[in-house]
Amino acid sequence: MNILVIGGAGYIGSHMVRQLDRAGHNVVILDNLSTGFSEAVTAGQLIVGDMQDRALVQRILGDHQIESVMHFAACALVGESVIEPAKYYQNNVLATLELLEAMRYCSVKKIVFSSTCATYGQPQIVPITENEKQEPVNPYGFTKLVIERALEDYSLAYGLNFAALRYFNAAGASPEGDIGEDHQPESHLIPIVLQVALGQRENITIFGDDWETPDGTCVRDYIHVDDLCTAHLLALERLETGDNLKLNLGTGNGYSVRQIIESCREVTDCDIAEVVGERRPGDPPKLIADPSLANNSLDWAPKYQSPKAIIETAWAWHKTHPNGYESDSK
Ligand code: UDP
């Protein structure tokens, strides 16, 4: 299949590009490299440009006879979205609406969309099923929810066929160790803890230890990036049947910030100093997936079942790329 991967030079997108290529698909990547890296693109054809450039997107859809779009390009930081909501409405909502219009114009009818567990806000029942009310507590979650609704409306009105995949916490790196997570500046838990292990930071600040959770720190469901991508591949195949999908992608197991730091100590065999700071605005205390629907409907199960197994892959990447992709260009 001819597939356009938007944001394919980013963290999750670059792992997806590799899997699509290995599955025999023709991949075209559109990325503005605002947060992505050309070095992360290991297959397909990279076009550097902006998804808000409707003429460019329409040209790509037509020239490459694109049959499906996978859309990873988004701003995805909860804390930043609270401080800078305009950036989120612009990049996550307006840009995606432009994409949907380009697809409509070119009669491209299939899209896999990166949604998020942040659309659930503070869920009443955890583990979270897809039936949980979607009441986001931060702009990031809300902008993703807006697009989920747009996809439903486009589906009804224009016959768009979509998968909205609600990620829990993507983590880890390719087992080959050549592509991985590189955010500038880094804000995600596991990379930051590993930067402490590498001596690049003095300590990890735990964002609050007075939450209503077993050890007082926030609980999240960490899922390996390759497991996420495998689910995307299966979802793409399922779109062929004409079904729309809204699925949680997580392991079903939650780990606290303290448990993650402890696993990082085990994997790295390093002392990792921690300090307790303020709660981060927009953070819900506990997000764990009930992934049964994805397990059953996609016949999918994550291969990486423990934080340790996930962190080992992340550590292999960070150790060999202490400055991220910058280390590659030296
Ligand atoms: N976190 C933390 N210190 C940090 C970064 C993150 O305590 O320096 C916590 C954060 O509050 C959340 C969890 O770690 O509970 C995962 O945060 P991350 O930013 O990695 O992902 P998010 O859950 O925001 O998608």
H or E stretch covering 297:
helix 292-298
Asked whether 134 and 149 are in contact (CB, 8 A), the reply is no
H or E stretch covering 314:
helix 307-320
Q: How many CB atoms lie within 10 A of CB 153?
A: 12
Percentage of the chain lying above the pLDDT 90 cut? 96
Tokens of 198: 């590498």
Residues in the chain: 330
How far, in Å, are 180, 267, 271, 272, 277 from residue 203 at the CA level?
A: 22, 17, 10, 7, 11
* Residue 330 clears pLDDT 60, i.e. is over it: no
Q: Rounded to 5 degrees, what angle do the CA atoms 306, 312, 318 make?
A: 140
Distance separating alpha carbons of residues 54 and 58, to the nearest angstrom? 6
Q: Give the pLDDT mean for 163-179.
A: 97
Q: pLDDT of 241-297, one tens digit each?
A: 999 999 999 999 999 999 999 999 999 999 999 999 999 988 899 999 999 999 999
Q: How confident is the model at residue 326 (pLDDT cuts 50, 70, 90)?
A: confident
Give the distance (Å) from ligand 1 centre to CA of residue 189.
5
Distance separating alpha carbons of residues 92 and 206, to the nearest angstrom? 28
Q: How confident is the model at residue 222 (pLDDT cuts 50, 70, 90)?
A: very high
Task: Please give the pLDDT value at position 276.
Answer: 98
* Residue 328 clears pLDDT 90, i.e. is over it: no
* Residue 327 clears pLDDT 70, i.e. is over it: no
255 is catalytic: no
> If we measure between CA atoms, which residue out of 227, 190, 184, 182 comes closest to residue 320?
182
Residue nearest to atom 6 of ligand 1 (CA): 189
Ligand 1: residues with CB < 6 A are 78, 169, 187-189, 192, 204-207, 218, 220, 257, 280, 283
How far, in Å, are 12, 50, 118, 172, 264 from residue 310 at the CA level?
A: 14, 32, 21, 5, 10
Mean of the per-residue pLDDT values for the chain? 96
Distance separating alpha carbons of residues 127 and 287, to the nearest angstrom? 7
Q: Which of 11, 88, 120, 140 is catalytic?
A: 140
Helix, strand, coil proportions of the chain in percent (round to 5)?
40, 20, 40
Distance separating alpha carbons of residues 261 and 274, to the nearest angstrom? 8
